[in-house]
Amino acid sequence: MVCFDTDFLVAVLRGDDDAVVKLKEYERIQVAICTTPISACELFKGAYSSSYPSQNVMLVEEMLKNLRLLDFKLTSCSKAGEISNRLRRTGKPASDTDIMIAAITLSHDEVLITRNIKHFEGIPELRMETW
């Protein structure tokens, strides 16, 4: 299974050719696909703040119907705290949302699909792929 980061999902919604090809490839080889509740929140935030909120909220809802939403469970919370503290100590802090996305992805043993490699570079145990 692979876990889509917000940037990948936004790219698909915008019709980015590379992202759409990557999504179709996962579907063709029947890889289970998912995202995090954090990415879902970020998508809705963007949709509601757009010029066409009603239309974009519907697009987000339709997209999310086709994805498994990973649980944000206690192990994810613990992992987020661990990552946040480690990054702070090493002088490489990350945003809370990126830390939560990484923690959820790790606690479910998934691969994160993202182009925002720099956002997650301080988390070496996180497996990532780009498109």
Instruction: List Cα–Cα distances, 102 to 21, 55, 82, 105, in angstroms.
Output: 24, 29, 11, 5
pTM of the model: 0.94
Beta carbons of 101 and 5 less than 8 angstroms apart = yes
Contacts of 100 (CB under 8 A, 6+ apart): 36, 38, 72, 76, 80
What does the pLDDT read at residue 29? 96
At 119 the pLDDT is 94
What residue spans of 29-68 are helical by DSSP H? Answer: 37-48, 53-65
Q: What is the H or E stretch that residue 118 is in?
A: helix 117-120
Beta carbons of 92 and 122 less than 8 angstroms apart: yes
How far apart CA 122 and CA 89 sit, in angstroms, is 11
pLDDT at site 93: 84
pLDDT given at position 25? 96
pLDDT for position 66? 93
- Cβ-based neighbour number of residue 38 at 10 Å: 24
Both tokens assigned to 28:
């063709």
pLDDT of residue 36: 98
Provide the pLDDT for residue 6.
98
Task: Note down pLDDT in tens along the chain; length 131 residues.
Answer: 999 999 999 999 999 999 999 999 999 999 999 999 999 999 999 999 999 999 999 999 999 999 999 999 999 999 999 999 999 999 988 999 999 999 999 999 999 999 999 999 999 999 999 98
Rounded to whole angstroms, the Cα distance separating 62 from 57 reads: 9
Domains defined along the chain, listed by start: 2-129 (3.40.50.1010)
Query: Which residues on adjacent β-strands are paired with residue 69?
Result: 35
| Both tokens assigned to 84 | 């946040």
pLDDT reported for residue 131: 87
**Model pLDDT, residue 74:** 97
- The helices-and-strands tally (H runs, E runs) of the chain is 7, 5
